[in-house]
Each structure stands twice: as structure tokens, then as C-alpha cells.
Amino acid sequence: MKTIAAIPADSVGGKLWIKDFRVDGDKLFVKYKSTYNDIPFKETEIFNIDNNFVITGADGTVLFRFNIGWIDKIK
């Protein structure tokens, strides 16, 4: 059974869902989707910044930031 974490993304009920954490060499990846659009789960690299992980857009803009503890919930 695969676990999906539903992370609060804002104060009005928006969510970020993450699943399928994996490590490839020195890079970390998750599959994610959010309540902000209707896109299926997409794999992306995550980056460790100040005891948080971030998901960035193609231009490097931080789209989502979440506590590193959420990864433990989907391992």
C-alpha cells in the first residue's frame, strides 16, 4: 500500500499531496499534485532549504515549501 501525505498549503483548505519519495544519487524526488490545479501527480526534484523541502518551478520560483518530517510519513 502506498501512502500519500496531504499537506496544508494555505489557511483556506488548499492541499499539497506528495507520494513516492525516492533518492537517485544525491537527488531527492517526490510525486506531487495540489488543489490549485487539475494536473495528475507529477514527479519533481525537491530541495532541502532551511530544514524544509521545496518544490520549484522551471524558473526556480518556490511553488511549495513543506517540513522535512512529511517525507517520513510517505517512506
pTM passes above 0.85: yes
Going from N- to C-terminal start, the domains of the chain cover 5-74
Strand order in the sheet with 5-8: 5-8, 15-24, 27-34, 42-49, 52-56, 62-67
In the predicted structure, residue 1 carries a pLDDT above the cut 90:
no
In the predicted structure, residue 61 carries a pLDDT above the cut 70:
yes
pLDDT tens track for 9-48: 999 999 999 999 999 999 999 999 999 999 999 999 999 9
CA 29 to each of CA 12, 18, 44, 67: distance values in angstroms, whole numbers, following the listed order: 27, 10, 6, 15
- For residues 69 and 51, the answer to whether their CB atoms sit within 8 Å is no
